[in-house]
Amino acid sequence: MPKTKRDEPAELLRLALTDFDAQIAKLQEVRAQLTALLTGRSAVPAAVEAAATRKQRTLSAAARAKISAAAKARWAKVRKANAKAQKQKPKPTAKKAQPKTKPAKGRAAPAQARKPSSKKGEIW
């Protein structure tokens, strides 16, 4: 008896998987319809439904110009308020010049000549 492609195990498995995928898709459709009956919503998922009904919206040149003018007016108002706030700020006063002296180091000043003490019992 001649062998056909359908007799090969790999081909049989591939056909079985294709059939299972078709059955799964059909069961998912039935499940979506039953869920729709229970919840009162449409059987089509919301994301697919919204994408299908959404139309491309375009603005006319006049509408774009109107929106642009409104945005420019808003930004001009913001810039004007910022400029006004800058003018109202008091200018910082100049710091007084401090003399540039070197800080004292940890050494003591050189001692001057010692004076003899006037205590009793001391020779010096």
Kindly report, residue by residue over 92-110, the tens digit of the pLDDT: 676 766 766 766 666 555 5
Q: With H, G, I as helix, E, B as strand and everything else as coil, classify residue 1.
A: coil
* Mean confidence (pLDDT) of the chain: 78
**Structural element, H or E, at residue 69:** helix 61-88
Side chain identity at 98, as an amino acid letter? Q
Residue 34 has pLDDT above 80, yes or no: yes
Considering only residues 63 and 104, tell me which one the structure prediction assigns the higher pLDDT. Answer: 63
pTM: 0.30
CB 46 within 8 A of CB 35: no
Separation of alpha carbons 46 and 32, rounded Å: 11
Structure confidence at residue 1 (pLDDT): 44
Residue 79 has pLDDT above 70, yes or no: yes
Q: With H, G, I as helix, E, B as strand and everything else as coil, classify residue 63.
A: helix
